[in-house]
Structure 1
Amino acid sequence: MTSSFPLPAHPLLATAVELAPRLSARSAEIETARRLPEDLVAELNRAGIFRMMIPETYGGLELHPALSFQVIEALSRADGATGWCAMIGSATALTAAWLPEPVGRAIFSAPDVITGGVAAPLGRAERVEGGHRLTGRWAWASGSQHCHWLVGGALVTEGGKPRMVREGVPETRLFFLPARDVTLHDTWFASGLCGTGSGDMEVKDLFVPDDHGFSFFAPPHVARPLYGFPFGLLGLGIPAVALGIARRAIDELTTLARQKTVVVERRLLAARPAVQEAVAEAEAEVRASRAFVLETIHALHDEATRGPVSVRGRADLRLAMTHATRSSARAVDRMYEAAGGPAVFHTSALQRCFRDVHTLTQHAMVARPTLELTGGILLGFDPPTPVL
């Protein structure tokens, strides 16, 4: 499906669509391995998937966010785990814009670099001369097995006590860590997105130089529109993955319904009014929520070309992200239920869609509390803006 907001054609989107049949054919292999195969990662890397959000000045593609969104969506339609890992690798790389220029260039000018990690401040970073001593363990480090650099978020301490930015607000920073210095724990035994390798990562008392850490509350060193709304971009890929999975579920149900005969009724599943209604509702829900996300992406990108993005704009993006992800889950549920018995087997792509999309809905960036946050802003309350 094409966007309602046309952008110039880009070969990367065509490549993602061309890759789709091969990705789909390997879904069972990916799920069993609980990580992406090395040759598949290499193919995604050669295509430039992990360079979508790297600044042009460092040799990246710096694509319009709506285009990156559609690339991730296309990959996810083929295989949810692949789309998720592509999203994590490309979205993490946008942090290049916040690193000091020499470090950002040194890391991201490498044409094959892949980054990942966890932005949540689950670590502790003790301030020392020239940098920080970092200790922490982070869950959900998706795709970490194929990364060269990993990002870990941490609470900054000084003398063992939290360092405060202002009253009631402790300092948090993100730190770039060479993958060789990080211990990976194989903890990813999940119901969905099984092939993402989202285990734990850990470091203990690791020295990180000052120039390998940054705060999103500071302005980026690369002042371009793409980097005008960072928190939104870090989670923007979640609804892209969800919508891709939902589109795959509609595809799968449509194919099944045209082939499966309901024995008792002596007619195709597609002839059932309940199935027809389910397909119509799922189609409307997916297309409407997708349009809301793309409309908001374009509006915020335009706003970022003129200056800082407003709190209301950030809230709109978070609302669109959450709505699209949860709408996708409802669409998948309808397709799963309409399929009947065949959908319960692991050989069914619908079964994988069901498990994958409901794993997505558990992510904090699109969980139900985000609706409380955005709803409060719509009602005129002042939010804790760092959350956005």
Structure 2
Amino acid sequence: MTTPPPVALKPAGEHPVLAAARQLAPKAAARSEEIETARRLPADLAQELAQAGLFRMVVPEAYGGFEMHPALVIEALETLARADGSTGWCVMIGAVTAMCSGWLPEPQARLIYGAPDVITGGVAAPMGRAELVEGGYRVTGRWPWASGSQNCRWLLGGAVVTKDGAPQMRGPMPEVRLFFFPIADVTLHDTWHAAGLCGTGSGDMEVRDVFVPAERSMSIITERPRVASPLYGFPAFGLLGVGIPAVALGIARRAIDELTALANQKKLIAAGGQLLAKRPAVQEAVADAEATLRAARAFLFETVNTTFEAGTRAEVSVKHRAELRLAFTHATRSAARVVDRMYEAAGGTAVYRASPLQRCLRDIHVATQHAMVAPSTLELIGSVLLGLDANTVML
């Protein structure tokens, strides 16, 4: 593993956006049942989060954003997800999508991100087709998992570029680009009837033969950021995925909170009214969960800071990128193990809808299904760490 340099965990002082996340978290927690039932983030809450700057965390300062250190982005998302998993997920999608502002030509970046309360979202997976035409592309596609899209003014979709119906090749791979659509050009399908993260509104988005000017498209694979900043020296896929482990860690911390509170209230009839907290198996589970969560979090922050520091010197290697993805996957899957243990330790109480632990269980196991942190990522990472040839384009 790469030896980390002696870098600070985060810049000194509390960032105002992180302070805003702490202030808004109780509001999200209080509306958790409403969010779950509505299957989307309420528009007024989304706007309050936007006005607090939570969707502008990685927008360039030149465009009115904050260019926050990735470690601070993790903390803000973790704070919101601890209060409500769906809120954390929606803010994560909107916030990391906004990284595209650093790649877009300045006029388009200002057009899309000029309003201080704008929310963008979408799906980067190349599930669309973009036919080359004069001045741009005509894009058709349908993308699932368009989280938070109901509150967005712009949505992006990934697509394979075609000419006369045939994929345009870049070496051995088809060319893939991201395309921005104003919300008026997008049809949203209410398909989000899911096991967990129910309040994220992650239904399908669809466009049909929509013209997108060439300057409103970009590639984070083949193009460099247009904004010179330490933040955009961080790996593009790393910045895109940094919020997933943050949300997972927040959900897991909530699970420990809930089990701890329950254990000091619930009495076991079969044990003569003894508190659940006095049960050795519960004590062991809480101790193990605490160590697992904090170790995963420490590895995540260590790797994020090491990679960020390398990015400031333009020295990010394939190994840095592999270890960063390893930290993402490890943190997310460790968080799932923590939630599982807290749910099991709670006993039958946890199965009821009134229990936050059942929601933590459902939410975390939807988060683990994201392709960015799937078990298969470990095969690719292991290949890099073993010095084998591997396709690392998506790291």
Please indicate, yes or no, whether the TM-score normalized by the shorter chain is above 0.5: yes
Distance in 2 of aligned mates of 1:4 and 1:286? 21
Distance in 2 of aligned mates of 1:223 and 1:369? 33
Is the contact made by 1:69 and 1:240 (CA closer than 8 Å) also made in structure 2?
A: yes
Q: Kindly state the Cα deviation for residue 14 of structure 1 after the two structures are TM-superposed.
A: 1.8
Which residue of 191, 196, 207 corresponds with 1:192?
A: 196
Structure 1 position 136 matched with structure 2 position 118: no
Which residue of 33, 49, 52 corresponds with 1:28?
A: 33
What corresponds to 2:90 in structure 1? 85
Distance in 2 of aligned mates of 1:275 and 1:130? 63
Q: Kindly state the Cα deviation for residue 13 of structure 1 after the two structures are TM-superposed.
A: 1.4
Structure 1 position 234 matched with structure 2 position 247: no
Structure 1 position 273 matched with structure 2 position 277: no
Q: After superposition, what is the alpha-carbon deviation per residue over 1:313-338, rounded to whole angstroms, capped at 9, x for unaligned?
A: 11011000000000000000000000
Determine helix, strand or coil for the equivalent of 1:96.
helix
Q: After superposition, what is the alpha-carbon deviation per residue over 1:271-303, rounded to whole angstroms, capped at 9, x for unaligned?
A: 000000000111001000000010111111111
Distance in 1 of aligned mates of 2:340 and 2:8? 26
What does 1:8-157 align with in structure 2 at a 5 Å threshold?
8=12, 9-157=14-162
Q: Kindly state the Cα deviation for residue 109 of structure 1 after the two structures are TM-superposed.
A: 1.8
Distance in 2 of aligned mates of 1:92 and 1:58? 15
Structure 1 position 348 matched with structure 2 position 355: yes
How high is the TM-score relative to the length of structure 2?
0.96
Determine helix, strand or coil for the equivalent of 1:386.
coil
Distance in 1 of aligned mates of 2:219 and 2:24? 36
Structure 1 position 333 matched with structure 2 position 340: yes
What corresponds to 1:287 in structure 2? 294
| Equivalent residue letter for 1:90 | A
Q: After superposition, what is the alpha-carbon deviation per residue over 1:191-231, rounded to whole angstroms, capped at 9, x for unaligned?
A: 00000000000001111100000111211111222122110
Determine helix, strand or coil for the equivalent of 1:134.
strand
Is the contact made by 2:10 and 2:72 (CA closer than 8 Å) also made in structure 1?
A: no
9-18 or 331-340: bigger deviation: 9-18
Superposed CA RMSD: 1.1
| Equivalent residue letter for 1:342 | T
Q: After superposition, what is the alpha-carbon deviation per residue over 1:142-163, rounded to whole angstroms, capped at 9, x for unaligned?
A: 0000000001000001111010
| Equivalent residue letter for 2:215 | D
What does 1:246-325 align with in structure 2 at a 5 Å threshold?
246-266=252-272, 267-325=274-332
Structure 1: gaps (5+ residues): none
Distance in 1 of aligned mates of 2:18 and 2:90? 16
Structure 2: gaps (5+ residues): 1-6
Structure 1 position 160 matched with structure 2 position 165: yes
What corresponds to 1:169 in structure 2? 173
Distance in 1 of aligned mates of 2:196 and 2:125? 21
Is the contact made by 2:8 and 2:305 (CA closer than 8 Å) also made in structure 1?
A: no
| Equivalent residue letter for 1:120 | A
Q: After superposition, what is the alpha-carbon deviation per residue over 1:213-250, rounded to whole angstroms, capped at 9, x for unaligned?
A: 01112111112221221101111100000000000000
Distance in 1 of aligned mates of 2:15 and 2:78? 15
193-202 or 103-112: bigger deviation: 103-112
Q: After superposition, what is the alpha-carbon deviation per residue over 1:361-387, rounded to whole angstroms, capped at 9, x for unaligned?
A: 111000000000101101001221212
Distance in 1 of aligned mates of 2:358 and 2:20? 27
Structure 1 position 368 matched with structure 2 position 372: no
What corresponds to 2:386 in structure 1? 379
Distance in 2 of aligned mates of 1:251 and 1:294? 22
Is the contact made by 2:10 and 2:69 (CA closer than 8 Å) also made in structure 1?
A: no
Q: Kindly state the Cα deviation for residue 310 of structure 1 after the two structures are TM-superposed.
A: 1.0
Distance in 1 of aligned mates of 2:21 and 2:118? 19
Q: After superposition, what is the alpha-carbon deviation per residue over 1:42-92, rounded to whole angstroms, capped at 9, x for unaligned?
A: 110111100101000111011111001100000000000000000000000
| Equivalent residue letter for 1:249 | A
Is the contact made by 1:4 and 1:291 (CA closer than 8 Å) also made in structure 2?
A: no
Distance in 2 of aligned mates of 1:309 and 1:193? 33
Is the contact made by 2:161 and 2:168 (CA closer than 8 Å) also made in structure 1?
A: yes
Is the contact made by 1:16 and 1:75 (CA closer than 8 Å) also made in structure 2?
A: yes
Determine helix, strand or coil for the equivalent of 1:177.
strand
Q: Kindly state the Cα deviation for residue 308 of structure 1 after the two structures are TM-superposed.
A: 4.7
* Distance change (3 Å), C-alpha of 1:318 and 1:355: same
Distance in 2 of aligned mates of 1:22 and 1:100? 37
Distance in 1 of aligned mates of 2:76 and 2:390? 32
Q: Kindly state the Cα deviation for residue 7 of structure 1 after the two structures are TM-superposed.
A: 2.5
Identity %: 65
| Equivalent residue letter for 2:59 | I
Determine helix, strand or coil for the equivalent of 1:135.
strand
Distance in 2 of aligned mates of 1:12 and 1:56? 14
What corresponds to 1:213 in structure 2? 217
Is the contact made by 1:156 and 1:171 (CA closer than 8 Å) also made in structure 2?
A: yes
